Amino acid sequence: MVKLQSWDTLQVVDHGDHVLQVILNRPEVGNAMNTRMGQELLDLMTRLTEKPKGVRSVVLTGAGSKTFCAGGDLKERSGMTRTQWIHQHEIFERVCWAMVDLPVPLIGAVNGHAYGGGLELALVCDFIYASNRAQFALPEVTLGIMPGMGGTQNLSRAVGERRAKELILTGVSFTAQQALDWGLLNQVLDPEHLLDAALKTAQTISRNAPLSVRQIKKAIRFGGQMELRTAYRFEIEAYNQLIDTEDRKEGILAFNEKRSPSFRGQ
């Protein structure tokens, strides 16, 4: 697994089975993202991209039971100059790109409220499970700013343009059940079952062929931005990369021998 270290704003837990849990760990301020958290998230996501060292799935959640992430730390931002603000936001933007580009699946386990940048962090996960007590909002318009970590783009792609305009232009909050009904979430669970469900899914993914998982994630992400016939061709190119792998041979052999495959990512 990736080498663990002491973080100021994150807690990283190795659950075995190639699954890593990343916890936003500033519960005293609703896990709000300050500059340090942005730097640490960027560092961690970069490490997991460059040298995953056995990590095949990542679960992202927040410390405590009330808040996933309250967004940007407005107390830290109070009094910032334009230069300081832009510098900090550049870090936050890079965090979101690093999360989007993460080659292994990233599952959001939204354990509480996800507002502003907190919802934007959830939106860059590959899919999201949430507590039935969670609330969501992109309230930036009420603060004289707007979403700047992909919120206007990712929310509209998740729930549709008209719904996204309504939510972002009003800044109103919505419930986990509404988010599920609109297609933003995959599952809504009781708080005590949320993490177990997310970890179980991560473990299921991690038992599958890791090279296949990476190619599938790539095909869905990039193919969705292409004209359909071009996307079909892109899918086939991704498929062809797997034919000569040891994992493909192991998968077919295990099937014929009626046993579980042992994938090594080769």
Provide the 8-state DSSP code for 53: T
How high is the pLDDT of residue 4? 59
Best CA proximity match to 75, nearest among 10, 26, 119, 12 = 26
pLDDT tens digits, one per residue of 39-72: 999 999 999 999 888 999 999 999 998 999 999 9
Domain 10-206 coded CATH 3.90.226.10: yes
pLDDT at 123 over 80: yes
Tokens matching residue 79: 């009094």
Q: Across the chain, what does the average pLDDT equal? A: 94
Residue tagged active-site, from 140, 235, 250, 257: 140
pLDDT tens digits, one per residue of 73-103: 988 888 889 999 999 999 999 999 999 999 9
pLDDT tens digits, one per residue of 170-229: 999 999 999 999 999 999 999 999 999 999 999 999 999 999 999 999 999 999 999 999
CA 79/CA 71 separation, integer angstroms: 18
Q: Is 90 a catalytic residue?
A: no
Provide CB contacts within 8 A for 157, sequence distance 6+.
none
How high is the pLDDT of residue 3? 57
How high is the pLDDT of residue 97? 95
Task: State which H helix or E strand residue 187 sits in.
Answer: strand 187-189
Q: Is 246 a catalytic residue?
A: no
The answer to whether 2 and 56 are in contact (CB under 8 A) is: no
pLDDT tens digits, one per residue of 221-252: 999 999 999 999 999 999 999 999 999 999 99
In 3-state terms, what secondary structure has residue 11? strand
Q: Where are the chain's structural domains?
A: 10-206, 209-256
How high is the pLDDT of residue 76? 87
pTM of the model: 0.94
Class of domain 209-256: mainly alpha
CA 141/CA 213 separation, integer angstroms: 38
Tokens matching residue 108: 């959001």
How high is the pLDDT of residue 1? 57
